[in-house]
Amino acid sequence: MHSEQASWGLKLAAWGGLLFLHVPILMIFVYAFNSESSGFSFPPQGFTLKWFSVTLARPDVLEAIKLSLQVASIATLIAMVLGTLAAGALYRRDFFGKNSISMLFVIPIALPGIITGLALLSAFKSFGIEPGILTMVIGHATFCVVLVYNNVIARLRRTSHSLIEASMDLGADGWQTFRYIVLPNLSSALLAGGMLAFALSFDEIIVTTFTAGHERTLPIWLLNQLSRPKDVPVTNVVAMLVMLVTMLPILGAYYLSKGGEDVAGSGK
């Protein structure tokens, strides 16, 4: 009897926590379609798509979206290349300093964003590099590498090395082995890591604040909108779009990576 009560108590606590976290997000979605121009009148006064056309007609919003997509795409591409190379170098061989190098890959995402941002800004100023698109891409790539690295090295550890040895024994060279054996086994892990990296880069604001200079990404645009109450309906629409852009890659990465235990050569 007590165990059943405890089970129901845990379920209620879990659902209560989920509601506490997600109801504010759902309210943003509701008010993005609110016909009232004040934005947060309760209850919502009606349903309209007007604010979407207003939002997409504003040059400042479109420029912010374009910049965020540009920075996130380049940072993700860099992270996929560097993260894959790092995972390939570290997953099998033991050498002096291996654990320290692995920790260095994790530090950028483990540190508070304000520490990372200050460190990057200081480094850029030391080299005479002015904040802008380049510094944002570098800043985002430093923590996006971690996501790709973790996904790829986990998949490599579940892939039997005998597949690579068999390929080489059958006459394949290094490139052919990578193309036909290694890459197909890494494809879903690479895609999942890249999607997570893109989502993280697209809505990053703390590191971006220190590395953007005069540029305005979409999260910075949203932050500036807090002082403009008349633009609340437009802000709601943009916030909803940001949540969708970041939510969908995360869900996709989850479904791509959850079946990783069935990868070829993992003993199945």
CA distance 190 to 187: 5
- pLDDT tens, 196-221? 899 889 888 899 999 988 888 888 88
Domain boundaries, the chain: 58-262
Residue 264, pLDDT score: 42
**Confidence at 263, pLDDT banded by 50, 70, 90:** very low
Residue 1 has pLDDT above 80, yes or no: no
Architecture label for domain 58-262:
Orthogonal Bundle (1.10)
DSSP-based three-state secondary structure for 121? helix
pTM equals 0.79
Residue 79, pLDDT score: 93
- pLDDT tens, 35-92? 766 555 666 677 778 888 888 888 988 999 899 999 999 999 999 999 988 888 887 7
Label residues 98-133 b or e (16+ Cβ within 10 Å = b).
eeeeeeebeebbeeebeebbebbbeebeeeeeebeb
